[in-house]
Amino acid sequence: MTTAATTELDVLGALLAFDFIGFAQKSAALDPTDAQYGQAVGGAFGLAARRRFPQGATAREISAYVAEFLGSLEAGAEDFDAAALERLVADGLGDEPVRGGAHLDPERTMQARLVLTLRWVRELGLGPDGQRELLAEALPAV
């Protein structure tokens, strides 16, 4: 495990705890040009996706979920390409890649994974212990 991976999971942990000052401080330490950038958050994202969709999800279900997710964002929130989010969710579930749509750059991918992971943690009702378990489970994946 690298220091960058630990920092990424610290960033996610701060977000999950609604520690926005810690989130901002820890995020500043990340280097989007690092070849390993996003892998730790990607691991946690995949774990959360498989917990949220334990039986998997069809392309139609993923599309409907992404549409609902995008519709729930508050005004002024980041705009995400629906097809790119569908691809991220399918990838997180280990499904066949979804075709079409724009690819997100590494920073937008990280943002999308953080936001979706936060949402799934809330939907799953994971409290502090469940959140720590998710982050600990993501460590070996890095």
How far is it, in rounded angstroms, from Cα 41 to Cα 88? 12
How far is it, in rounded angstroms, from Cα 11 to Cα 42? 12
How far is it, in rounded angstroms, from Cα 9 to Cα 100? 30
- Spatial CA neighbour of 141 closest among 90, 101, 92: 92
Phi and psi at 114, nearest 5°, equal -65, -50
> Each residue of 9-28: pLDDT tens digit?
999 999 999 998 999 999 99
**Global pTM?**
0.88
> Each residue of 57-109: pLDDT tens digit?
999 999 999 999 988 877 655 678 888 899 999 999 986 555 555 567 888 89
